[in-house]
Structure 1
Amino acid sequence: MKADVASVANDWLTQQQGGVRRWLLSAMGLGAAGTVLLCVQAGLLAWALNAMLLQNANVRDVLPAAAGFVLLALVRAACAVQARRFGFEAGRRVVADVRKRVLEAFRARGPAWLARQSSADLITRTVDGVDALAPYYARYLPQKAAAVLLPLIVLVAAFPADWVAGLVMLVTAPLVPLFMVLLGGVAERASQRRWVTLLRLGNQFFDSLQGLVTLRLFGAGARRRVLLAERSEAYRRETMSVLRVAFLSSLVLEFFAMVSIAVVAVLVGFRLMWGDVAFTHGMFVLLLAPEFFLPLRALGALRHARMDAVSAAGDLAALLTRVPPGHAPVSTPSPAVDAPMHPPCIELEDVRFEYAPGRAGLDGVTLHLAAGSTTVVVGASGSGKSSLLQLLMGFHAPSRGTVRVDGHALDAFDAQAWCARIAWLPQRPHLFVGTLRDNVRLARPDADDMALERAARAAGLDAVLRDLPQGWATPLGEHGYGLSGGQAQRVALARAWLRDAPLLLLDEPTQHLDEASAHAVQQAIAELRRGRTVVQVAHRLDAARTADQVVVMAAGRVIEAGTPAQLLADRGAFFRLLQNEEAA
């Protein structure tokens, strides 16, 4: 199984090369050019040494060779710098592309899927996991190509000068990659363990940070610190294990490289003494011998970059290629029809949705939501109300049945265009770090100040603005820190007004508010509902009295549907819910 995961990760890493092949080939080409120039440099240096040591030439005689040597050194340095730039550009582009696709995968799966995931796990994969790809493409892949190509160039240059030394290098070269392969399995297993430990540490730390108030109130902070310390120590041990393997690998590679260079040096020395090889040729080969093994040694030093990338790629490949049941694919087909600009008529026919295998959020739901009507959905927690809204937003695909909008299947619309036709008001609106203006304008980035003011008046946000010294420029902290729950809900209402969408979806927008704030928000919602198709999930049943249709749900099914007057007259489930609320 682990071999299969590694194979999938390697295949996925190979697939990502397509978009940056030009940059990688440019880096490899410059590396090869630098090696050719190195061979020329070695020839010039060997000739100059021979002229000065054995032919009594003066400095003026070797000055052109010295000037050529310096010039080639400068050109080689420029090639190396540019090759590094090309490599880093390849890494940067891959990281940007993968991170964009990961975020798109999150968006395609929708908030319901994200809510069931560990936030720390997603952050670690999106940040640390994606960042681990950069060194692989920026340095490891160019060096891998250099380890194959550059020694061949050196051999081509060395064989005509001294075939014996060239043969020694050719025979000893496979020892280096052989030991890299032998140590590779141990290194990859250690790297996988380190990655899993990092994910667990991230989860523990993020959970502790989010639950800091709870930990302090229950006096559990010390125990949590011990747990984090243990996780940190485990991560340190796994990191040191990877480093030990890396250092051992480097030691073995350096040993065999030095032994091979020493063998070449001894052979050249004896053959010079016996007169079997010219000084210029012997010196040329001696100068090239270290350069022959240098790319292989550098590749061994970069194996950790490959191990980290493979460890992260396994999770990223699964995230980008595997679509959970009931979710739309990450790559959606071209839309067949345009999303409606008018209040839509929505029909659900025998719809079943499973948010996990065998666990249905909706089961056989059939509903008719007339254009321009208001439908209030009520029921106990877990009855399927939120699943219904998620389905209408297009974040899920039904496992059975059909959702139609104006006679067209919902999946025939472009997902982004459909979302643009929806105004959404949740229980707890998410406010981002930034100004109040930025948070409201999120609904329509091109809105001018006049449109903002109109939305603020309609939502009752103008009263909040008068109490804020900086007005629209008031900075908000994370999750709207600085505003009360009722004020945050008015910001969300202003967004909905500014959106001016034909479909309004409300998910218990007054549940966490006090009576006064809930009444004010509900009044603003009553104005917002006019001229729109509205689906509102409500826990306060007062909102249902003014609806065109009330739907009562239980266990993912519709058990009652009709006008408020009809349901009250039938004295069924809705009547009992209303009685219980009044009694409370």
Structure 2
Amino acid sequence: MKPLDPRLLRYARATRAYLAATVLLGGVHAALLIAQAALLASAITAVFLDGAGLSPVAVGTLAAVFAARAGVAWAQEVASARSAAAVKSQLRRRLLTHVTALGPDRSHPAGKITHTTTPEPDRPRPAGELAALAGNGLDALDAYFARYLPQLVLAVLVPGLLLLRLLPADLVATVTIVVTLPLIPLFMALVGMHTEAQNRRRFRLMARLSHHFLDVIAGLPTLKLFGRARAQAEIIRRISNDQRRHTMRTLRTAFLSSLVLELLATLSVALVAVGIGLRLVAGELDLATALLVLILAPEAYRPLREVGANYHASAEGLAAAEEVFAVLETPLPPTGTLPPPAGPIVFDGVEVHYPGRTGAALRLDATITPGEIVALTGPSGCGKSTALAVLLGFATPTGGRVTVGGIPLSDLDPEAWRRRLAWVPQRPHLTAASVYENIALAEPAPTHQSLTAAARRAGVDEFARELPDGYGTMLGDAGTGLSAGQRQRIALARAFLRDAPIVLLDEPTANLDAVTAAGVMAAIRRLAHGRTVIIAAHRPELIALADREISLAGTPVPAGEISLSGVPVPATVDPVALESAAVEPATAAR
């Protein structure tokens, strides 16, 4: 067993103060325990040998010690719970910050058409695994910080204090406890190594199940389209059964190991009790001392038993923490520091390659001048979205370079550069918040006038006034409650509110019917005025908005290689038709 991963304290420094408080309270609790044992031994001896009743002072003192122990135990629980909450908060914050800095190309976006790849040991972590890691995975650290880690220190402190008290009272019992105590950590280490490996396998299986389930839900329209929903349900059922079997196997090991530890502790206490009884009958020991030893002996073994029991509960959290550290230790891509200048955007021999794909995902030589509206065209998979991802800093060219005003994009401060960009994706992400708050995501503190003006220019005002609470209407996850066209208009309102000089549009009218697309097109015309606009486009009417068309020369994705959410698509299916049909149901496009 690993007593403490030093990275936990390095990444979560807030635990040190809480851990010190917990250990200090544990020492106070042990001192109160010794006082309680001495008082009980004296009281019982006085009643049975002297025939005297308990004095009010003795009763009051004993009650005060009991109350003090309860108060200290409560304070220990509070400190332990705050310790676990603090470290989980810090680790989650660091994890999300680091994943954001790594960029979205580190995981396959759920529901987007991707290319079938062979998993590799150093592959990016999918979104489902990261969600399981940041959620239930880190929640399992509660047992580690609230139970196991404090008990690990108290397992040394408490038996030491108890043995110091027992040594002058009974040397034989003290030696017996000292000899038998090491047996518990010895067996605990032997069992713990096996349990740790089982918990690691179980956590990885849970992460795999989480990702696969998320992937299937995202691609459910396509699965229904090709009649593959039942097959995926069977895969999820099989993985779930594997997870259940691993969980039950881990629980069985934990229960059996707890039984071993309890049996060892019970036999050790029995050995002490037999010696006490024999010497008490022989008249070698007085009753008060015998009672003191019998009360304190089980308490000497209890911290070690709790260490073993709590370790099994915390093993899953340790496995999750190691996965978090693996993500946190992934090096960030290098970034520049120069402020972005005005000037043309030049793609100079840019090539982007993705692992597992034959050929380049993007090949582009182009110059885009300020104020120009350019349409990137070509068959599905030729690199239109990849070109926008390169400008956003979400994809790194493997060949060539991109310059802005003559300065390489890699030399620019990414945050300053992105402040000059407004991005309208094909499927905008809306949070479970009001319409007003979803538009306000584009700016940290927008004024009410600027936000409503942006909403009017994007056409949001047309449908927002008909909602139950207007702009204050609460939406569900992913904008549930709005149609695809309404969600697209909210994304355009964000672009209007941002008022950036460069606008990137990724198929903004895909999956929309003709009437809805016409309204979105009108909003795009207003947005494009006076700005540099780059549009990834399929539709002829969207291409007609551009001043110039750039046909990408990248190698289109072979139909047999396309997959959506891990579901292979037959080579006879048109990728463009699939992209339109799979992402949104037809009824949602109204």
TM-score class, shorter: 0.7 to 0.9
Cross-structure match for 2:113:
none
Contact kept? 1:348, 1:368, Cα under 8 Å:
yes
Cross-structure match for 1:389:
388
Cross-structure match for 1:313:
321
Distance 1:545 1:213 in 2: 30
Q: For residues 141-190 of structure 1, what are the alpha-carbon distances to aligned partners after superposition, in whole Å with 9 as ceiling and x for unaligned? A: 11111112211111111111111111100000011111111111221232
Q: Which moved more, 1:290-299 or 1:409-418?
A: 409-418
Contact kept? 1:268, 1:282, Cα under 8 Å:
yes
Q: CA distance change for structure 1 residues 525 and 204 in 2, over 3 Å: closer, same or farther?
A: closer
Output the TM-score relative to the length of structure 1.
0.83
1:328 aligns to 2:333 (yes or no): yes
Q: 2:161 aligns with which of 126, 149, 153?
A: 153
Q: CA distance change for structure 1 residues 359 and 236 in 2, over 3 Å: closer, same or farther?
A: same
Contact kept? 2:28, 2:72, Cα under 8 Å:
yes
1:48 aligns to 2:43 (yes or no): yes
Cross-structure match for 1:199:
207
Cross-structure match for 2:67:
74
1:457 aligned partner, one-letter code: R
Q: CA distance change for structure 1 residues 367 and 215 in 2, over 3 Å: closer, same or farther?
A: closer
Structure 2 counterpart SS, 1:539: coil
Structure 2 counterpart SS, 1:442: helix
Aligned counterparts, 1:109-508, within 5 A: 109-116=102-109, 118-207=126-215, 209-210=217-218, 227-323=235-331, 328=333, 336-338=337-339, 345-356=344-355, 365-468=364-467, 470-508=469-507
Give the drift of 1:51. 3.4
Give the drift of 1:14. 5.2
Distance 2:358 2:88 in 1: 36
Structure 1 counterpart SS, 2:509: coil
Q: CA distance change for structure 1 residues 470 and 247 in 2, over 3 Å: closer, same or farther?
A: closer
Q: CA distance change for structure 1 residues 162 and 427 in 2, over 3 Å: closer, same or farther?
A: same
Cross-structure match for 2:569:
none
Distance 2:412 2:57 in 1: 72
Contact kept? 2:88, 2:141, Cα under 8 Å:
yes
Distance 1:481 1:52 in 2: 73
Contact kept? 1:106, 1:114, Cα under 8 Å:
no
Identity %: 39
Give the drift of 1:231. 3.6
2:333 aligned partner, one-letter code: A
Aligned counterparts, 1:32-111, within 5 A: 32-60=27-55, 63-111=56-104
Contact kept? 1:361, 1:387, Cα under 8 Å:
no
Contact kept? 1:87, 1:138, Cα under 8 Å:
yes
Distance 2:388 2:34 in 1: 69
Structure 2 counterpart SS, 1:382: coil
Distance 1:344 1:165 in 2: 86
Distance 1:159 1:360 in 2: 77
Contact kept? 1:432, 1:480, Cα under 8 Å:
yes
Q: CA distance change for structure 1 residues 543 and 49 in 2, over 3 Å: closer, same or farther?
A: closer
Q: CA distance change for structure 1 residues 473 and 18 in 2, over 3 Å: closer, same or farther?
A: closer
1:439 aligned partner, one-letter code: N
Contact kept? 2:377, 2:384, Cα under 8 Å:
yes
1:489 aligned partner, one-letter code: Q
Distance 1:517 1:225 in 2: 34
1:137 aligned partner, one-letter code: F
Contact kept? 2:177, 2:297, Cα under 8 Å:
yes
Q: 2:17 aligns with which of 12, 16, 22?
A: 22
Structure 1 counterpart SS, 2:503: strand
Structure 2 residue ranges without an equivalent (≥5):
110-124, 557-590
Output the TM-score relative to the length of structure 2.
0.82
Distance 2:340 2:67 in 1: 61
Query: RMSD of the alignment, in Å?
Result: 3.1
Contact kept? 1:459, 1:524, Cα under 8 Å:
yes
Structure 2 counterpart SS, 1:39: helix
Higher relative contact order (CA 8 A, sep 6+): 2
Cross-structure match for 1:578:
none
Distance 2:426 2:516 in 1: 13
Distance 1:70 1:407 in 2: 81
Contact kept? 2:34, 2:296, Cα under 8 Å:
yes
2:528 aligned partner, one-letter code: R
Distance 1:80 1:364 in 2: 66
Aligned counterparts, 1:528-539, within 5 A: 528-539=527-538
Q: For residues 219-278 of structure 1, what are the alpha-carbon distances to aligned partners after superposition, in whole Å with 9 as ceiling and x for unaligned? A: 766666555444433333222211211111111111111111111112122223334334
Q: CA distance change for structure 1 residues 186 and 291 in 2, over 3 Å: closer, same or farther?
A: same
Q: CA distance change for structure 1 residues 289 and 215 in 2, over 3 Å: closer, same or farther?
A: same
Q: CA distance change for structure 1 residues 295 and 226 in 2, over 3 Å: closer, same or farther?
A: same
Give the drift of 1:124. 1.8
Q: Which moved more, 1:416-425 or 1:129-138?
A: 416-425
Contact kept? 1:425, 1:496, Cα under 8 Å:
yes
Distance 1:496 1:9 in 2: 48
Give the drift of 1:407. 4.7
Q: CA distance change for structure 1 residues 39 and 240 in 2, over 3 Å: closer, same or farther?
A: same
Structure 2 counterpart SS, 1:59: coil
Q: CA distance change for structure 1 residues 286 and 504 in 2, over 3 Å: closer, same or farther?
A: same
Cross-structure match for 1:562:
none
Q: CA distance change for structure 1 residues 423 and 8 in 2, over 3 Å: closer, same or farther?
A: farther
